[in-house]
Chains A and B, each alone.
Chain A
Amino acid sequence: MRAWPLLAVALLACPVPSHADEELRSFLIVGDAIPDTLTGKPGDAARGRTVVATRQQGLCLLCHSGPFPEERFQGNLAPSLAGAGGRWSEAQLRLRLVDAQRLNPDTIMPPYYKVSGLQRVAPAFAGKTLLSAEQIEDVVAYLATLKD
């Protein structure tokens, strides 16, 4: 299979479900973590795995690798997701998904639950978060299962 160089870039631009209809939920950061769920209830790990493994949704595997034998061409710009649940608590994972720049100003991790402070966002994505609050919780629940 030929590896098209722009495919990855094009995938980043694929249309995603709109998350503009929901108000941004408020959350409280404590230390390097967001202790409470954004939705008031725990996420669904199985749905979270789908978000992570589906390039058009999570985009995760463009940069990360992980335990996804069915997915070819996983990136290596970022640490493997394997063991993420052993390295971080759910609360820590939550902040790293919501807005990792709060922990590392130079990070390449996109902010998955943030709409302000961004520049020149394309109109199709303006005012929308990369993932919905429910999806964030699903992904947190899934990553927490990756203990080693």
Chain B
Amino acid sequence: MRRLALVVLAVFAATYAFAQTADKRRSGYADMDASVQKMQDDDTANPAMLWVQEGEALWGKPVGSANLACADCHTPARLGGMAGVAARYPAWSPALGRAIDLEGRLQLCRTLHQKGPALADESRELLALTAFVARQSRGQPVASPDDRRLDATLRSGETLYKRRQGQLNLSCAQCHDDNAGQKLAAVTIPQAHPTAYPLYRLEWQALGSLKRRLRNCLIGVRAEPYPYSAPEYVALELYLAKRAQGMKVEAPGVRP
């Protein structure tokens, strides 16, 4: 009898401990209709896979005055050769002396190694290459680097996230931390984890970057969006990546 009581007590204690440490983080995926979840999960139905295929073709295409393809340096060239890379961005770039996101890394390779012109922000080619690389981290945990050189950028990202902005005078945190899971009109406010980017949004009818999404929020609170090249986006992206550390990469995702 005493033994049973001990077992019951142990089970209760373990359950309690688990409940205390349970990860409350939740991807926006969990709040989607089953039909949209299915679209993301099925490569033959996920519209973002068109960009991935295009990215794969671009990966093998020589460009710039160096006449180098991405695949010439990054071997094996097949899908999977860049596994885990996207999960680590934004990361520190010694060449530039600042933090860069995955798009920034692709641009750097293009200008520095391939010696070609940078791609336009949010262009189809840049999104395609980003999607191709990000797809190879799908299922892996977000692994934002533990790198002291990123500290200042991370702090600035957190500050931006918590700063009220725009005519509506709202911060990211007020919706996505304090009111996540609540309804803004018909929409369930997500926790703002960046795990599915770049993603295909049915409303956009296109693939878009996390920057595009951040701009949507800024416009929503009637703040002036930063230009695409602004370091503020990288700082926010880094802060979001840290919050999502260990969550599964879903890229390229689908959202309504």
Contact = CB atoms under 8 A, between A and B. Distances in A.
B186 A120 contact: no
Contacts of A76: 182-183
On chain A, which size bracket covers the interface?
35 or more
Contacts, number: 114
Contacts of B169: 101, 110-111, 118
Interface size range of chain B in the complex: 20 to 34
Given A4-B256, A7-B203, A123 B224 contact: yes
B23 interface: no
B183 A120 contact: no
Interface string B171-192: 0001100110011111101000
A82 interface: no
B223 interface: yes
B216 interface: yes
B161 to A, nearest CB: 14
A130 interface: yes
Interface in A92-146: 101, 106, 108, 110-111, 118-125, 128, 130
A3 B217 contact: no
Interface in A56-98: 59, 61-63, 72-77
Contact of B224 (A108, A110, A111, A121): A121
Q: Among A73, A77, A124, A130, which residue has the most Cβ atoms of chain B within 10 A? A: A77
Contacts of A106: 174
B203 A130 contact: no
Contact of B170 (A2, A5, A108, A128): A108
Given A6-B201, A119-B164, A12 B222 contact: yes
Closest A-B pairs by Cβ, 8 of them = A73-B186, A9-B220, A3-B186, A8-B185, A110-B168, A125-B167, A12-B220, A73-B185
Given A2-B256, A4-B256, A121-B223, 10 more contacts: A10-B219, A12-B222, A13-B219, A13-B222, A72-B186, A73-B185, A73-B186, A77-B175, A118-B166, A122-B166
